[in-house]
Structure 1
Amino acid sequence: MQINRLFEIVYIMLDRRHITAKELARQFGVSVRTIYRDIDVLSSAGIPLYTVQGSRGGIYMDEHFKFRNSLLTDEERNQILIALQSVMTTEELETSRLLSKLSGLFQIRHTDWIEIDFSRWGSRRRDKEYFRLLKNAVLGCSAVKMNYISSYGSITDRYIFPVKLVYKSRAWYVQAYDKGREAYRTFRISRIMDLEMSSDTFEKGDLPALPEIEQSDSSPVTLVHVKLRCSPHLGYRLYDEFDPAAVAQDEDGSFLVTVSLPEDTWLYGYLLSFGSGLEVLEPLSVKQMLVKEAGKIQSTYEKEVKK
């Protein structure tokens, strides 16, 4: 415990340069006398710490003292801190401590200029908890039980061996061996309805080789090549959601998009989410399905209005 505390004190002093013994004692849950003994140990080891009495007293570190970290360039140090900021979205407490240590070690004062949050609006606590459970399952080779809603709206009970967490296309996924289907499946974490760690464990060496992530759920994906025209006031969505190379602006200000999308029920709901601001130019089959879906929507609301 003392070795860990000594390292912590050095990191804190590198970051702050001045602190009182009472603050350190409170932080580590030890007595002030113990802190002063630690300072003596560090000073004897060559760390330039000294104490000052009086109203502005406390423990100080020589402002010219730095750890030798010339193996990393300034850019490399910043890249490490940016990566840690990303990890903080899932391991906030542990990573914030490490971030504080490294920022002191690297002599970088400002690390709060960027914040990365992968959680959805209004679901921060739940998303973080599910990610934590799945991360522990992956690292501990623990089985997981869950209720999962597929892209087709069906809810199924799954018993899986989580193997890998993947962030792809603005969403977190877990790749896992599905015991019920005896094959790998990729599950979107936001579609997990309920999640429970099992006491069962598995050996990764006993599982088949992990395939590349290509799709979620268990259904093969068929792509359809579509051409779209979008009103100018909705153009921002196109640049949010598609490769800019697939978007072009017409002379009248509207946007044209040519892209391949999964041909399933998700596609029609997605296209309808643009409302009247989107027109499908081709293919005809997608146009016909949208007419059919729009008809169902109209029928639903006509019944409500007639009531």
Structure 2
Amino acid sequence: MKIDRLIGIITILLQNEKITAPELAERFEVSRRTINRDIEDICKAGIPIVTTQGTNGGIAIMEGYKIDKTLFSEKELRAIFTGLSSLDSVAQSKKYKNVIEKFTSNKGSHILKNNILIDLSSHYKSALAPKIELLQASIESRIRVSFLYHNQRGEHFVIIEPYLLIFQWSSWYVLGFDNGAKQFKLYKLNRICDLKATGQSFELQDIPEEKLDFDKYFTDEIQAVVLFDGSEKYRLIEEYGLSSFTSTSDGKLRFSFPFTNRDYLLSWILSFGEKAELIEPKELRPIMRDKLGNTVKKYFES
């Protein structure tokens, strides 16, 4: 990603008196034109960069400019490394690990140890990593993508102009301008199939502020009250936290929490089997009863 590359370039310039644009392009696996744009952005950030032509030419920080060689403290570097390492968990290559290596002055220097390990891939890395790779490239190149999307309404074909990759609610999403709906929409990567870059470029537009408030994407709240067997306490703590339930006098757990999707709520309760009973909303109890009845019927059919 661009911010990783900019940090890497600054670090290299701090550690070397001079380096050429082709060398930087090779190290970061981008074009020379991209490196030139990066150098312009670094200058805009207030770090004076000078370039010289000729046999001994190259890119360097302006002579006499006073800058602390320890631009980042050890604690700050650990935080950066943790973030980059977590991105490696959903990358097809080791590009983020390579960025980390570029932070060190030479191959023999020690790499700071982290005490936090973050894996963003869940159980779907083999399917997820190629999607993230293609979407990242499409976002940077401003190329539309197409895919088949699966939701409650079935399968439908979508073309979007991708803007952001988002990890939230324990899942990956892409935010893009949907050409059919003519608005910005959020799509869950695990529901995307047959993802392709169309080769069609697009012009950037401003993302409406409300579309960046991701917590407001699901607003139809269903205030659920469920009575659980005490043996399911560990699951409630793991999935919704200690504050999501209270203990009753008979050892049951009274769970109360807002949900945004009715079908998800019902299927989640069903996953507990006989150890859960939906109390509220009362209008969902007949629906739950029918679901249970249909399930039981299947086991009595020949």
TM-score with structure 1 setting the length: 0.68
**Do structure 1's residue 302 and structure 2's residue 300 form an aligned pair?**
yes
2:230 corresponds to: 232
Q: Using the alignment, how far apart are the partners of 2:72 and 2:179 within structure 1?
A: 45
Deviations 1:239-259 (A, max 9, x none): 222143223333444322211
- Alpha carbons 1:103, 1:111 under 8 Å: kept: no
Identity of aligned residues (%): 19
SS at match of 2:196: strand
Q: Cα distance, 1:144 vs. partner?
A: 0.7
2:280 corresponds to: 282
Code of the residue aligned with 2:204 in structure 1: it is K
- Alpha carbons 1:87, 1:95 under 8 Å: kept: yes
2:267 corresponds to: 269
**Cα distance change, pair 94–172 in 1 and its aligned pair in 2 (3 A):** same
Q: Cα distance, 1:266 vs. partner?
A: 2.2
Q: Using the alignment, how far apart are the partners of 2:276 and 2:71 within structure 1?
A: 54
**Cα distance change, pair 77–120 in 1 and its aligned pair in 2 (3 A):** closer
- Alpha carbons 2:225, 2:254 under 8 Å: kept: yes
TM-score with structure 2 setting the length: 0.69
1:260 corresponds to: 258
**Do structure 1's residue 116 and structure 2's residue 115 form an aligned pair?**
no
Q: Using the alignment, how far apart are the partners of 1:108 and 1:259 within structure 2?
A: 48
Q: Cα distance, 1:270 vs. partner?
A: 1.7
- Alpha carbons 2:82, 2:114 under 8 Å: kept: no
- Alpha carbons 2:226, 2:279 under 8 Å: kept: yes
Mean Cα displacement is larger for which, 277-286 or 236-245? 236-245
- Greater Rg, structure 1 or structure 2? 1
- Alpha carbons 1:144, 1:161 under 8 Å: kept: yes
Code of the residue aligned with 1:118 in structure 2: it is L
Deviations 1:235-287 (A, max 9, x none): 22212221432233334443222111024322211221111111222221122
SS at match of 2:118: coil
**Do structure 1's residue 137 and structure 2's residue 138 form an aligned pair?**
yes
Q: Cα distance, 1:118 vs. partner?
A: 1.8
Report matched runs for 1:146-157 at 5 Å: 146-150=147-151, 152=152, 154-157=154-157
1:127 corresponds to: 128
2:243 corresponds to: 245
Q: Cα distance, 1:187 vs. partner?
A: 0.6
- Alpha carbons 1:186, 1:215 under 8 Å: kept: no
Q: Cα distance, 1:169 vs. partner?
A: 0.7
- Alpha carbons 2:78, 2:114 under 8 Å: kept: no
Code of the residue aligned with 1:97 in structure 2: it is N
Q: Using the alignment, how far apart are the partners of 2:84 and 2:239 within structure 1?
A: 26
**Cα distance change, pair 82–179 in 1 and its aligned pair in 2 (3 A):** same
Deviations 1:41-66 (A, max 9, x none): 9xxxxxxxxxxxxxxxxxxxxxxxxx
SS at match of 2:266: helix
Q: Using the alignment, how far apart are the partners of 2:83 and 2:162 within structure 1?
A: 24
Code of the residue aligned with 1:163 in structure 2: it is Y
**Do structure 1's residue 209 and structure 2's residue 211 form an aligned pair?**
no
Deviations 1:91-149 (A, max 9, x none): 341111122233568x754536443222232x312100001111111221111110010
Report matched runs for 1:58-69 at 5 Å: 69=69
1:195 corresponds to: 195
2:36 corresponds to: none
**Cα distance change, pair 191–90 in 1 and its aligned pair in 2 (3 A):** same
Q: Using the alignment, how far apart are the partners of 2:226 and 2:245 within structure 1?
A: 10
Deviations 1:132-185 (A, max 9, x none): 1111112211111100101x1501111111111111110011111111121222
**Cα distance change, pair 184–83 in 1 and its aligned pair in 2 (3 A):** same
Q: Using the alignment, how far apart are the partners of 2:193 and 2:275 within structure 1?
A: 33
1:75 corresponds to: 75
SS at match of 2:94: helix
Q: Using the alignment, how far apart are the partners of 1:114 and 1:79 within structure 2?
A: 9
List runs of 5+ in structure 1 lacking aligned partners.
12-40, 42-66
Q: Using the alignment, how far apart are the partners of 1:111 and 1:94 within structure 2?
A: 19
Give the root-mean-square deviation of aligned CA atoms.
2.9
- Alpha carbons 1:221, 1:262 under 8 Å: kept: yes
Mean Cα displacement is larger for which, 77-86 or 241-250? 241-250
SS at match of 1:204: coil
Q: Cα distance, 1:78 vs. partner?
A: 1.6
Code of the residue aligned with 2:78 in structure 1: it is N
**4+ residue stretches of structure 1 with deviation over 4 A?**
none
Q: How many corresponding residue pairs? A: 237
Q: Using the alignment, how far apart are the partners of 2:207 and 2:233 within structure 1?
A: 44
